[in-house]
Structure 1
Amino acid sequence: MRKDTRTAGKDLTGQRFGHLTVIEKTGQTENKYRLWLCRCDCGKEIAVNTKRLKSGTVTNCGCIPRKDARRGKIAEDLTGQVFGYLTVVRRAENKYGRTCWLCRCECGKEKEATARDLKAGKVKSCGCRSRDHSHNRVDLTGRKFGRLTAIQPLEERDRKGSVYWKCLCDCGAETSVTEDGLVQGSVRSCGCLKSENQKRIGEKLHRIDGTCVEILEKRKSRKDNTSGFRGVFKTKAGKYRVDIGFKRKRFYVGTFESYEEAVKKRMEAEKTVHDGFVQAYYKWKEQADRDPGWAASHPLDFEVEKKDGSLAVREVTK
């Protein structure tokens, strides 16, 4: 059996690599490279594989920041120093080659931060201060935003730290909205405006027997696209299944060998069901406009059924 050259090789016992001195081989491997037990100048022992030692990737146990390791500088002791609302307690484990310190915030929580971020002022608290905007809060009391009038700020904050405001809507209902939602205009009522708009849109649509005429007319103009054709589904067997929806039901049209044939059958079904319904509706509406009394006693009922394996429609005027 061929010997793995990555685990074999020169004995490194006693050799120095940066701040590490090799003590002995461990008898274990890491990524097929032999692991060596090494002692750092600080006294700590760690296991490092041959490749990382020889390439200089690891030169200490982590007690020296990577950027200063080559220059042999020891990290500055920040214990006891104050950075914003943080007081440095003790050294923490290095992360990504940078010196980290455990800090205690004025609120009592602890947080780890790199020396670089602390000195640069990028980290000043455990995060509690980023949520506290009381020092620069905008007074919205009495201001009008759409149908909402801001009454007073609340203690509640959203995940971004935006203050919630108690608001009174023109309809008389009270609600709480974030400062961002009010100022940016994303919230303009307690919800009544949305309900009114939906009702207004609904009044413009004509629904007969649970089916919207305008939606069917809009779908009628849709064409094929890169993802396929509506109502045509490819099966695991490689064939194409076709169905069509009407009155919240799905009607099976058939399964076909080719995509082109499936699309053709789907379009025929649309002409029979959807187009047939739209034509029947306008025919019924023409008479209903002339005689509203007749329309009230003769609602349009359009039924779809399957005869001899094909879809058929049955118009029932009650």
Structure 2
Amino acid sequence: MKKIEHGFNSGQRFGRWTILDRYVFSARGEKKYLCRCDCGTERYVLERSLKYGGSQSCGCLRKERAYQATAYNLLGQTFGELRVIGRSRKRTEMGAYWTCLCSCGYTCEATAAELVSGRKTHCGCKSVRSYATSNITGQRFGRLTALYPTKKRDAKGFVIWHCRCDCGNEPDVSYNNLMYCGQQSCGCRKKEHDQELGTLLTHVGGTSPEMIQSQKLPRENTTGYKGVYLVRGKYLAKIVFQKKQYFLGTYDSIEEAAAARKSAEALLFGETAAFIQKWKESAAKNPEWAGDNPVEIHVSRDRDGRLAVSYSPQIL
């Protein structure tokens, strides 16, 4: 250890840190000053962390800010480019997450501590340019190999890359999809998966009883409710049946969207599963009748836009 001869002065303050009279050098040759936090903790802190504000306390300041942030309702407040529009179901040891709407139109989640401390001021759109143009030539992503960047950009500003799939196709794929969204083929992988799945599942009337009764949440789901998505501050509900999407509306609250989804599930999934079961029982008793009377399911909307389902043949 050495007495301070140059640089910061003993007693100089940075946030809650007060510099004492000693410093050491790190393994990289960077100067670290012995500091005392207002809470009494003593620690060696890098000179650059003090100079540029990277460290302002031993951690007690961050905890206090997190506590203060969770003690108040942040709904409606603005932090940089972010406006808080609701609470998220996600939680952390530092407190609850808040759902925020960025000025660019996209939504994101942030802890109260991140918002109050200023560490989170946008959804990431401000930093897109710094990494959206990274060179990934020759890198492989599943079955895709990135060949060269095109002049096109996606909606978020990411470069569109021309790629070659192992099957021989050469699709154009966004850098964002390759790096962060997990795209690994031109679509051939999904087709192969669907073909394999078709040999494992029963298909009646253009749908699979096993699939419609499954309650497993997709990996990309963030709301905790199947078929409910947060889009630009609203909760959108939809349902997929017979490979078609049916939009159930947008709602201000997640409870309303979840209720609309549950109602559609009861109609499309519950009643359909019950009808198919009755048809199977009749088919087991009379195979010839089953061959002449296949299951047909028709989905339509009434004048009020509500879903309606009709089944044939009629089963007594």
Pick the TM interval, shorter chain.
0.3 to 0.5
Could you state the TM-score of these two structures normalised by the residue count of structure 2?
0.34
Larger Rg: 1
